[in-house]
Amino acid sequence: MDIAALNSTKVLRWNVLRWMCFCFGSLSAIFSAFNLTVNNFYTLGYLEICFSLYCLYTFIRLGKQPLQAWQSIVMCALITLIVVFGTYIATPKNGVFIWSFALPILYYLLLGKYAGVILSASLLSLQSIILFEKSPLLPFTTFNLSLNLSLTYISIWAVSHIFEVSRAHSSKRLKNLALLDPLTGAGNRLSMSHYFEVELQDKSQLFLFLLDLDFFKQVNDKYGHDVGDKVLVEIAALLRVTLAKGYVFRVGGEEFALLSSFKNADDAFAAAEKLRSIVETTNIDIDGKVINLTISIGVTEYKNGQTLLEFVNSADKELYKAKRLGRNKVYG
């Protein structure tokens, strides 16, 4: 699987924002000309010109650079300002307020469910106050119109919310399936690659522990693979608890990799030795069978410019030395 495929949410928001810029930028240019020449709404017209230019700038920028969070925030803020201000200065028969119905969808697609709830509720309150105060319609008609408008807006809001919650949940499940080892719950090789290449921005003082369970095949041979699998689950949990600030990945049958930052090599070796000692002294109880294991650990520090493969190969060499020296060792 391509690592980029794991960023489906970011890709979705990039596409939505880019083509929203194209559409709204074009429409804003048309409306600005109309408001400046026909409606004489000069402030709104100039505001729409600025918005159109920003849309053009963002459309071009997104074609060359990745999406930044602030771009979605600015876009939502600007279009909300234009719709609310247009509703305020125009009469209801101009229909500017109708654009409000499109905004909850954009809020959720661009900013997620939490911002979607807050912004959709805020927009509903603002537009309701503005329309209620300036509507010239008769009370009975106003009530019916207000009821229909409110229910339509709330329906669109509800659909947007349900869609975003479902999409986020599905995306999280798919990401977990792609990134987590199904047996132990530790990260897998793809997860390790994703973390190293995408999420980990600062790789200074980064250390990799590559560890192997000594003579694990004997556990499978003696107790069976079901017991062996349960032992792996227990070991993965033990590693996560012991290395609280690090990340644990299962990279082979009985091989794990741990990534964590330390102040210096001495601290890293002390942490590795602590891991080795805890595993050695832990009796793992599986269905009444007490199993004791040891581990061999290869430790290496990240060197600037290294690829993940080079980083892992460096740790693998240290692990090989630890095993060659008799196992149940830390080497680096």
| Catalytic sites, residue numbers | 254
Spatial separation of the C-alpha atoms in residues 192 and 307, rounded to whole Å: 12
Spatial separation of the C-alpha atoms in residues 194 and 181, rounded to whole Å: 14
> Can you give the C-alpha Rg of the chain in angstroms?
29
| Cα separation values, 266 from 88, 202, 210, 261, 301, Å | 66, 20, 17, 12, 11
| Cα separation values, 28 from 55, 62, 108, 325, Å | 9, 19, 22, 72
Burial of residue 299 (CB within 10 Å: 0-12, 13-18, 19+) is buried
How does strand 206-213 pair with strand 255-261? antiparallel
Spatial separation of the C-alpha atoms in residues 46 and 35, rounded to whole Å: 9
Q: Mark residue 324 as left, alpha or beta (left: phi above 0; alpha: psi -120 to 50; beta: remaining).
A: alpha
Spatial separation of the C-alpha atoms in residues 122 and 127, rounded to whole Å: 9
Structure tokens at 21: 């810029």
| Cα separation values, 97 from 82, 94, 172, Å | 10, 8, 35
